[in-house]
Structure 1
Amino acid sequence: LWIEANVFDVKETIFIGIALAVIVVFFFLGSGRSTFITALALPNSLIGAFILMAVAGFTINVMTLLALSISVGLLIDDAIVVRENIFRHIEMGKNPIRAASEGTAEVRLAVIATTLAVIAVFAPVGFIPGVIGQFLRQFGLTVCFAMMISLFDALTIAPMLSAYFAGTVEHLHEKKGPVARMLQAFDKFQTWLENKYESFVHKTMANPLKTIAFTLVIFLGSCATGKLVPSTFLPAQDNGEFQIALELPPGTSLEKMTEKGQAVNARVSKEKEVRLTTLTVGNYLGGESNVAEMYVSMVTGKDRKGVNTSQFKDRIREILAKEYPDANPIVKDYDAVGGGMRPFNLNIMGNDMKVLDEYTQKLAKYIKTSPVLKDIDTNYRSGKPEFQVVPNKRRMSMLGISSVGLGQDLRAQVEGVEAAKFRENGIEYDIRVRLMDEQRDLEKDFKSTLVPNINNRLIRLSDVTTPVKTTGPTKINRQDRMRYIQINADIAPGGDLNGLMSDLQNKMANDPELKLPAGYTYAFIGQAENFQEMQAGMIMAMGLGILFIFLVLASLYESFVTPATIMLALPLAMCGSLVSLAIARETLNIFSMIGMVMLMGVSAKNSILLVDYANHQLREGKSRTEAMVIAGRTRLRPILMTTFALIFGMIPLAIGLNEASKQRTSMGWAIIGGLISSTLLTLIVVPVAFVYIDRFRAWSNIKLKKLVGATDTELLEADLKALEEGKPLPSSKSEHLSTSHGESAAPGQA
């Protein structure tokens, strides 16, 4: 049911995201035909992605559908940029065919760059090593598949339909009725916004230091806010499932444990929020008869009347602690993958069980003071009745009995030996030979039990050993050839797992009271281990993503300077992500980190649109300031269109339409916050950075030419002086200086 709910929710998110993104396009372009041409990229890209997924052997699952849901805004981006530019050329009075040809050519490089930037960050996600990598492989590659189809659609189908189907500017402006008036009002608002932004860019250019200082303050402030965001592997989920562990004293019979388990099961089943329960008595892994475990499934979210899983667990915890304290009930999260793992697991390893037990109890007492965890427990239980036989080595030596032989013989009598195998219908069964049940009570029959010596003469066990009745652990666990005791717990909603792990590592290394004894070590496993693996994998993916984005942009623009300007937007996107997560009280988890990886590719998009068009204006002879002002005004509409399409496409993901989607809301908030901050700050700081970085590039080229002994020294000196004064270069001979595209600079370029 939970898997079905997840799949249904992701499908619902995709369809609602598509509808909202299309509405955004319609408002900005104000034309049904233009909206249809742009929106056609969505079904084309999704269908194409499904085909490539089938070729790659992928399945339709929660992760691949989630990849498509966050791609909704991305898939329409390329078509928006192409169609908006064609639309602008039509507004300039060109016929649709010419507008489609020239408009597409003008933004082709920018569209390719934005798409490859997104692919560059998601491709490494598909190759993260370890368990997390297997979890994300289909996710990352599915986004790449969809983006490749989206690029193909934007550069082929969108221009073709624009040329023969879009209509002329006169047709686009023939609007009547309330919708038409609303669109015309929105169009006037766009014009007003473009004028205001143009004026704003002039002010930022005139005050570059203030602009950069303002951006730095915002960035550092958001980094400080990020400390308020707790970190964990998976966010709390309202899946309506949990487990209850019961335990009676060691040595309790299976019948008595069954009776107690059935009583607890009947009590829990009385609650109206419970749909079904199952009871398992005994531990099939360890063989203990004194334990039991219940699985509880709640009714659907709409029938709970506002009670979520966490709240109901707290209520059951109080009821059982009051009515069945002798059963030591522990209400814990449902372990969907099996293996008995809980969200938090810490193994303390060493060789002396007494030292291990004492230290673990002391550490567990400290952990119980943390609000991050709840239902804290250990896997070590002592007090199990034992009957031991202690060898008398002198007597055994006299009678010809070895310790190894004695142990093997007693084991064969009590546990049995595997004598043969039986095969039937392809299934193999072990045949184990041992004494009958009534003959295997070693304590009762100690004096009459016989063991053979090296001459096969039978000797009474009582002649060579001493009986000892004692207690011991229910089981002994080992890891890396050392004994260990595990501290396990559930993570409280909103708990900062990363902060807790850092605190424990510090305590176990430096605190005099909690420092690990010499020769002892520890290991985080379960979600704690997965969290560490996720952090390392995501850092690697982000690092590779940044490198790949730089290489892609450097190869497309044939410059190392232009990518540096474009990539200023990357840290700016992180500002909004951290702030939005803090405001929404979300955690930094695997889903929000995936959203941040996505932002790395998306945030570069706005910078690419600005810088690409500014470079185009430079080639036409404009100064740097003029080029960036024109680029800002011209590219403001597609920047806002793509940003709002992405934001509206993420809204269903951020709000969580049902209980299954609540787990992924952090991804939506991270993306929306990052989009807002990167768009606003990019429009503020990139124009200033572009002018100064490009001026540095030109200055360094002039210095380099002078250093290597260029032939026209007078021209170089004149160019350098003009550059330092912010004036146009004095001669068209300055074409020997390469632009950021690797092309010659136009006359008058500053």
Structure 2
Amino acid sequence: LIPMMASLQGRSPLAFRDEPPKAPKPLPRNVLLRVPVRILRAVGEGLFQILPRLIVVVVGFVAKLFNWTIGAALRWIGRRVVGTYDRSARLYHRMLPGAMNRPWLVLGTAALAFAISIAIIPSLGMDLIPSLAQGRFETTIKLPPGTPLAETDALVTQIERQHARDPNIASIYGVAGTGTRLDATPTESGENIARLLVTLKPGSGDREEAAAMNALRATLATRSDAEVKFARPALFSFSTPLEIEIRGYDLDALTTAGKKLGTLLAESDRFADIKSTVEDGYPEVQIRFDQDRAAALGLTTRQISDAVVTKVRGEVATRYNFRDRKIDVLARVRESDRASVEDIRNLIVNPGADRPIRLSAVAEVTASEGPSEIHRVDQERVAIISANLRHGDLGSAVSEVRSILARTPLAAGVSVHIGGQGEEMDASTRSMLFAFGLAIFLVYLVMASQFESLVHPFVIMFSIPLALVGAVLALKLTGTPISVVVFIGLIMLAGIVVKNAIVLIDRVNQLREEGHAKREAIILAAESRLRPIAMTTLATLLGFLPLAIGLGEGSEVRSPMAITVIGGLAVSTLLTLVVIPIVYELV
């Protein structure tokens, strides 16, 4: 029994074979997809339910916060503005009948204000375009002809070191010596000419730019023999502010007159960077050929000239190949054989001949000073004196030059013409005056066609002289000179200021058509149209205010136009409410 039980290994005689373990039954696929969908649906429903409520709560809180703070301030300002308007309206309603009872007093006061504004105009000064700070400028330094490159470079290095820590300057880049006397324009190149490119710090304006220029001028003033010229990047293609042309045939007379005028301008503190085309000549070696002597020796002037140029300047003998580049090999005499005038005289002009002939045998060689340059305008020789302005306006500078020329004759046989930006300013002023007159005429035509009357537009046009009073007053108070930009503002005023009078006169005509008497219609129209006139005027003034303040880059050009419009529109509106009703009643 025991062996039998052992053979069964502890299993029951009736036991079946063990089945392998079964894998867990997988979940249905629809269940796997349903779970994330339900999760996303729950999140979406939560967002669409909670988010709008959250937005409403946040917006409401912000609105209440603004209402408690900014809203309260705006309501306070609104009450003050409305209160001021109500008081002004009551004052205007009381004042208008009294003004209409004294028409000639009111019109005389307006005429006097217009006359005073006309008298103030000459004191405003004139410019072509307001100076625009561009953040950088270039300085050209011209030392006497013959100055060695080392001396020019030393001056540039001194300026760079001295002004490297200037509070207005970000960087200075200098170049000493530009070109050579043989391959560049003589008046614009040479070892005696240096250029400085000065970059100002970000945010620098007119004052910082002027301060940097004056600092460089003060440094260069120690070199009395240096000619300095400042130039801005060519944003506008304008000439130098002041260019005086002295015309004549005699070079000596032009030289005398040019130097004399340059000295007179230098005595005034208004002018800076005075430059004259009448300058000391450049040192040169002059060769005067003896053609008879040369012909007797079998030479021509061209052969002699070519030989001298070849020996002094050199000629390309061959080309050297270096790394796929061909480098010219220039052959000429040694520097010791061409270093002085005597060496030039000893040059052989017939190389390869049996009998060598020196240059001194066929020509006279002398060291002298030749003319720097000869300018012509309209086929007539001229000397041009140019200058920048250290302060003041262009119109005053031109007037000062004319007074200098009137009391100090320059030289016999020469005539003087003032050009540059002064000439361009005169031409632009004439063009702008024509455009201003044309704008007034077109505005009159439009109103005449709309009102079907020639009298009512004439009454409305009285707003334009009143606008001129305000524009001149604003320019005077801000110290803004008249320029092309100011004229653009005046042309804009011609179309803007008449709108108030149009609104007023149109309402008067409507009331008269309803049967009201003329004065009654005028008073009722003034009362009903005061609010829209005040609102539109205030909106326009506030719109131009950022331009007048001068925010952002290029504000120097925009600001004069905005100042003109603001001053003209403000004063014109105030006077229009009184003057236009009186003029309408009189006509």
Shift of 1:294: 0.5
In structure 1, distance between residues paired with 2:400 and 2:239: 22
Structure-2-length-normalised TM-score = 0.73
Instruction: Say whether residues 1:609 and 2:511 are aligned partners.
Output: no
Q: Which segment is superposed worse, 290-299 or 527-536?
A: 527-536
Q: Classify 1:339/1:674 alpha carbon distance in 2 versus 1 (closer, same or farther; 3 Å).
A: closer
Q: Classify 1:603/1:338 alpha carbon distance in 2 versus 1 (closer, same or farther; 3 Å).
A: closer
In structure 2, distance between residues paired with 1:481 and 1:434: 40
In structure 2, distance between residues paired with 1:411 and 1:340: 41
Q: Classify 1:275/1:188 alpha carbon distance in 2 versus 1 (closer, same or farther; 3 Å).
A: closer
Tell me which of 328, 334, 338 is aligned to 2:232.
334
Q: Classify 1:259/1:184 alpha carbon distance in 2 versus 1 (closer, same or farther; 3 Å).
A: closer
Q: Which runs of 5+ in 2 are unaligned?
A: 1-70, 180-184, 316-327
Residue 198 of structure 1 aligns with which residue? 93
Instruction: Say whether residues 1:473 and 2:375 are aligned partners.
Output: no
Structure-1-length-normalised TM-score = 0.58
Asked whether the 8 Å contact 1:363–1:514 carries over to 2, the reply is no
Q: Which segment is superposed worse, 592-601 or 367-376?
A: 367-376
Deviations 1:382-435 (A, max 9, x none): 142111123457667988999899889988997899xxxxxxxxxxxxxx9998
| Residue type of the alignment partner of 2:211 | Q
Asked whether the 8 Å contact 2:308–2:347 carries over to 1, the reply is no
Shift of 1:230: 1.7
In structure 2, distance between residues paired with 1:532 and 1:401: 59
Q: Classify 1:295/1:578 alpha carbon distance in 2 versus 1 (closer, same or farther; 3 Å).
A: same
Q: Report the 3-state secondary structure (helix = DSSP H, G, I; strand = E; otherwise coil) of the residue aligned with 1:227.
A: helix
In structure 1, distance between residues paired with 2:488 and 2:80: 38
Asked whether the 8 Å contact 1:507–1:515 carries over to 2, the reply is no
Q: Classify 1:213/1:416 alpha carbon distance in 2 versus 1 (closer, same or farther; 3 Å).
A: farther
Q: Classify 1:301/1:570 alpha carbon distance in 2 versus 1 (closer, same or farther; 3 Å).
A: same
Q: Report the 3-state secondary structure (helix = DSSP H, G, I; strand = E; otherwise coil) of the residue aligned with 1:309.
A: helix
Could you say which structure has the higher helix fraction?
1
Asked whether the 8 Å contact 2:253–2:414 carries over to 1, the reply is no
Shift of 1:235: 2.6
In structure 1, distance between residues paired with 2:262 and 2:213: 22
Instruction: Say whether residues 1:269 and 2:171 are aligned partners.
Output: no
Deviations 1:233-274 (A, max 9, x none): 233444442333323220123344233323322222133432
Q: Report the 3-state secondary structure (helix = DSSP H, G, I; strand = E; otherwise coil) of the residue aligned with 1:490.
A: strand
Shift of 1:277: 1.3
Residue 397 of structure 2 aligns with which residue? 500
Q: Report the 3-state secondary structure (helix = DSSP H, G, I; strand = E; otherwise coil) of the residue aligned with 1:621.
A: coil
Asked whether the 8 Å contact 1:374–1:491 carries over to 2, the reply is yes
Tell me which of 373, 389, 400 is aligned to 1:491.
389
Asked whether the 8 Å contact 2:254–2:414 carries over to 1, the reply is no
Asked whether the 8 Å contact 2:344–2:359 carries over to 1, the reply is no
1:280-679 alignment runs, 5 A limit: 280-283=175-178, 285=185, 286-301=188-203, 308-322=208-222, 325=223, 328=226, 330=228, 332-337=230-235, 342-392=240-290, 436=332, 443=341, 444-446=343-345, 448=347, 450=349, 462=360, 465-493=363-391, 495-505=392-402, 508=405, 510-511=406-407, 513-514=408-409, 517-518=412-413, 520-525=415-420, 527-657=421-551, 660-679=554-573
Instruction: Say whether residues 1:235 and 2:130 are aligned partners.
Output: yes
Deviations 1:202-226 (A, max 9, x none): 1222111111110011111122222
Q: Classify 1:681/1:407 alpha carbon distance in 2 versus 1 (closer, same or farther; 3 Å).
A: farther
Q: Looking at CA atoms only, which structure, 1 or 2, has the larger radius of gyration? A: 2
In structure 2, distance between residues paired with 1:320 and 1:281: 15
| Residue type of the alignment partner of 2:468 | M
Asked whether the 8 Å contact 2:227–2:273 carries over to 1, the reply is no
Instruction: Say whether residues 1:259 and 2:147 are aligned partners.
Output: no
Q: Classify 1:447/1:178 alpha carbon distance in 2 versus 1 (closer, same or farther; 3 Å).
A: closer
Shift of 1:541: 1.6
Q: Which segment is superposed worse, 536-545 or 657-666?
A: 657-666
Aligned residue pairs: how many?
494
Q: Which segment is superposed worse, 391-400 or 246-255?
A: 391-400
Q: Classify 1:465/1:331 alpha carbon distance in 2 versus 1 (closer, same or farther; 3 Å).
A: closer
Deviations 1:268-299 (A, max 9, x none): 21334321111133345533321111011122
Q: Classify 1:659/1:290 alpha carbon distance in 2 versus 1 (closer, same or farther; 3 Å).
A: same
Deviations 1:726-745 (A, max 9, x none): xxxxxxxxxxxxxxxxxxxx
Q: Report the 3-state secondary structure (helix = DSSP H, G, I; strand = E; otherwise coil) of the residue aligned with 2:189.
A: coil
Shift of 1:229: 1.0
Shift of 1:505: 4.1
| Residue type of the alignment partner of 2:457 | P
Q: Classify 1:665/1:406 alpha carbon distance in 2 versus 1 (closer, same or farther; 3 Å).
A: farther
Q: Report the RMSD for the aligned CA atoms in angstroms.
A: 3.9
Q: Classify 1:673/1:445 alpha carbon distance in 2 versus 1 (closer, same or farther; 3 Å).
A: same
Tell me which of 663, 684, 690 is aligned to 2:578.
684
Where do 4+ consecutive residues of structure 1 move more than 6 Å? 396-417, 432-435
In structure 2, distance between residues paired with 1:391 and 1:461: 9
In structure 2, distance between residues paired with 1:406 and 1:272: 59
Q: Classify 1:608/1:251 alpha carbon distance in 2 versus 1 (closer, same or farther; 3 Å).
A: same
In structure 1, distance between residues paired with 2:209 and 2:312: 46
Deviations 1:297-356 (A, max 9, x none): 122248x9x97222233233324434xx26726373524359995433333333333211
Q: Classify 1:246/1:206 alpha carbon distance in 2 versus 1 (closer, same or farther; 3 Å).
A: same
Q: What percent identity do the matched residue pairs reach? A: 27
Deviations 1:130-163 (A, max 9, x none): xxxxxxxxxxxxxxxxxxxxxxxxxxxxxxxxxx
In structure 2, distance between residues paired with 1:541 and 1:296: 39
| Residue type of the alignment partner of 2:375 | N
